[in-house]
Structure 1
Amino acid sequence: MENNQNPQDGNLNINLNEMVAAGVYCNLALVNHSPSEFVLDFIQLMPGVQQANVRSRVILAPLHAKRVLTALQQNIANYEQQFGEIKEVEPFVVGQNNVQA
């Protein structure tokens, strides 16, 4: 994986390999933190199955976690401006029988 930054122009070259580019589907995220880091677990939860699999874990420094939050807020605002409001549903609580249409 190549990751070069040119200090003169501030450009960052990022290499995205095919396996990572394919992505993984997740429908549940858990966020935890300590004084030094945020841990984001992205989980695929299948209906009627008691076992959920963590598909990806991302560990961030607090500053980067805040930058991700800002980027998500900006992108959600842009999305809603283009496609309409994202409707929220009742929060999912692990262990409860959640019925969604």
Structure 2
Amino acid sequence: MEENNENQLNIELSEEIAEGIYSNLAIITHSSTEFVLDFVRIMPGVPKAKVKSRIVLTPEHAKRLLLALDDNIHKYEQVNGKIRTHEGQPALPMNFGGPTAQA
């Protein structure tokens, strides 16, 4: 049986990139030609946060990402149950929902 390597794409993943970057906030902006996704890490008690990663996409690729995320979330929820989103709560939970510290 002959394999078709014409459509094969080899993707390299360095060790540094494979570690990933933790983000608990995404800011999405767009223009007529691109979508910009800024991934931020906010920490309790720290009034300033830095963008840890920025991804720039064409509108078509942004839509493809939306559809891929929707498909993956659906598959995840079939196995693990519905993901709770805490509707009605502030978008920036500065207390992170845990107990407050006292000195």
TM, length-normalised to structure 1: 0.83
Identity of aligned residues (%): 48
User: For 2:10, what is the secondary structure of its paired residue?
Assistant: strand
CA, structure 1 residues 66+91, in 2 after alignment: closer, same or farther (shift >3 Å)?
A: farther
Q: 1:36 aligns with which of 33, 36, 41?
A: 33
Checking the alignment, whether the CA contact within 8 Å between 2:28 and 2:37 is kept in structure 1 is yes
The alignment's TM-score, normalised by the length of structure 2, stands at: 0.82
Q: For 1:82, what is the secondary structure of its paired residue?
A: helix
Indicate whether 1:19 and 2:16 are aligned: yes
Query: 5+ unaligned residues in a row in structure 1: which ranges?
Result: 1-6
Deviant stretches of 4+, over 4 Å = 96-99
Residue pair 1:92, 1:98 contacting (<8 A) in 2 also: no
Which segments of 5 or more consecutive residues in structure 2 lack a partner in the other structure?
99-103
Counterparts of residues 1-101 of structure 1 (less than 5 Å): 9-89=6-86, 90-93=89-92, 100-101=97-98
* CA positional deviation for 1:62: 0.4
The corresponding residue for 1:4 is: none
- Answer yes or no: is the 8 Å Cα contact 2:36–2:54 preserved in 1: yes
- Cα distance in 2 for partners of 1:16, 1:33 equals 28
Partners of 2:73 and 2:17 lie apart in 1 by 23
Structure with the higher strand share, 1 or 2: 1
Number of aligned positions between the proteins: 93
CA distance in 1, matches of 2:47, 2:7: 47
Q: 1:26 and 1:100, CA in 2 relative to 1: closer, same or farther beyond 3 A? A: same
Q: Which amino acid aligns with 2:97?
A: Q
Instruction: Flag the structure with larger Rg.
Output: 2
